[in-house]
Amino acid sequence: MHTRRDFLKYASLGVTTALVTQACNNITKPAANQRTISIKLGAVSGINSIDVWIPEDLGFFDAAGLNAEVVTFQSSAKMRDALIAGEIDFTAQAPLHVYLSRLKGVPLNVVANRRNLVDTSLIVRSDLRSQINSVADLKGRKISAGEVGTWSWAVLVKYLRQNGLNDKDVEYVQSTTASSYTLLKTKQVDAAIAGAPDLHKLLKEGTVFQLLNALDPDVHKKYFGANEAMTRAWLSHERVASEKPEAIKRLVEVVNRTFIYMHQTAPEDILKVVGKRFDSQNLDAILTGLNTELKRSVPKDASISEAAYLADQRVFFDTGIIKKMVPYAEGVFDKFAGHRA
């Protein structure tokens, strides 16, 4: 067992050569006659891409015969556009971009699942606890989430509408120029939609309390209509499935190996591998996130649940971001990942 002091020491130093060597020695090496395939993967920085950093840092891509270049984007829309333009082969992002693209005639597909649950919370400043006991009490309050049309905005609208409010009943503050953490700490907003690491930093500091936690099965079922919602996935373009399907097959192998690793490895040890990729001030919050929502929302494997696909999409349909549902058979390429009801 590692002590907290040991963990912080390793986290501050980043991954050690011994840890990487041990992990890579446990990976089955590709067959000698297996041709290496070069691919480019898109990801955004932050904890939500931890399942991208793990296989890159532990050599899982190499072991699967993939010469993988991970390209980091600051904008999910720009990452999607790069996928459409053929500049990259896969993106690790929300399935929303498949729905939006398909409705414009652009054949993007979900090729592997990355998450099974909504892992964001509706949080409220702790000094308002006596005044806000329900979502309905947020009427007239300032609330922060991402840009209009993003996942966090859609989730907020969903919460409001199912409690008799709409987005016009609150003062909406986009967390673009300032983070939800800063907005809440400085009391510029009363509530926010937040996930790791901001969520856990704010909870630990006592700045906020959770009004709604989507990881609560009853909350998830009530607001999203299903036990699962595929909030993040690996996306690709039909041309990749047509021109190099073997690349998708190998990526799915990497995804499955990554999920096994994440479920079988202590969060402290995961951070020893990828901790160098995050702000050292956020490591405690990221560790908490790994112990809570990430361990619960990361799937057992890459298989794609039709119910979870539809539950995620319905959030965007119900809030008007998309005008039509994209059928599973149209938006998903599950030949290698597999299909679940």
**Same CATH fold assignment for domains 4-117+229-340 and 121-213:** yes
Alpha carbon distances (Å) from 141 to 186, 187, 212: 15, 12, 16
53-67, 154-168, 173-187, 215-229, range with the lowest pLDDT: 173-187
How does the average pLDDT of the chain come out, rounded?
90
Which of 15, 22, 26, 35 lies closest to 257 in space, CA to CA?
Answer: 26
Which of 44-48, 77-81, 281-285 is modeled with the greatest confidence?
77-81
Percent of the chain's residues with pLDDT above 70: 90
Name the residue ranges covered by the structural domains of the chain: 4-117+229-340, 121-213
Distance CA 247, CA 253 (A): 10
Least confident of 2-6, 132-136, 202-206, 260-264: 2-6
Q: Could you tell me which CATH number the domain at 4-117+229-340 has?
A: 3.40.190.10
Using the predicted structure, report yes or no on whether residue 9 has a pLDDT greater than 90: no
Q: What is the DSSP letter of 325?
A: P
- Does domain 121-213 correspond to CATH entry 3.40.50.360? no
Q: Considering only CA atoms, which of 115, 116, 117, 82 is closest in space to residue 97?
A: 82
Specify which residues 124 forms β-bridges with: 191, 209
Mean pLDDT of 90-107: 97
pLDDT at 177: 65
Residue 15 near residue 275 (C-beta atoms within 8 A)? yes
Q: Please check the confidence at residue 57 and state whether its pLDDT lies above 60.
A: yes
Q: DSSP of 83-144, one letter per residue? A: HHTTS-SEEEE-THHHHHHHTTT--EEEEEE--SS---EEEEEGGGTTT-SSGGGGTT-EEE
> In angstroms, rounded to a whole number, what is the distance separating the alpha carbons of residues 260 and 305?
18
Distance CA 283, CA 7 (A): 10
Q: Write down how long the chain is.
A: 341
Q: Express each pLDDT in 177-220 by its tens digit.
A: 678 999 999 999 999 999 988 999 999 999 999 999 999 999 99
Asked if the model's pLDDT at residue 26 lies above 50, the reply is no
Q: Which of 68 and 286 is assigned the larger pLDDT?
A: 68
pLDDT of 4 reads: 36
CA quadruple 287, 293, 295, 301: dihedral sign: negative
Q: Could you tell me which residue, 10 or 221, shows the higher pLDDT?
A: 221
pLDDT at position 31 is 54
Angstrom distances, CA of residue 175 to CA of 6, 86, 136, 189, 202? 35, 30, 22, 10, 15
Q: Which of 233, 250, 226 shows the shortest CA–CA distance to 310? A: 226
What pLDDT, in 10s, does the model give residues 287-308? 998 988 877 899 999 999 999 9
Please answer whether residues 117 and 300 qualify as being in contact, where contact means their C-beta atoms are separated by less than 8 angstroms. Answer: no
CA distance 104 to 99: 9
What does DSSP say about strands 233-237 and 108-113: parallel, antiparallel, or unpaired?
A: antiparallel
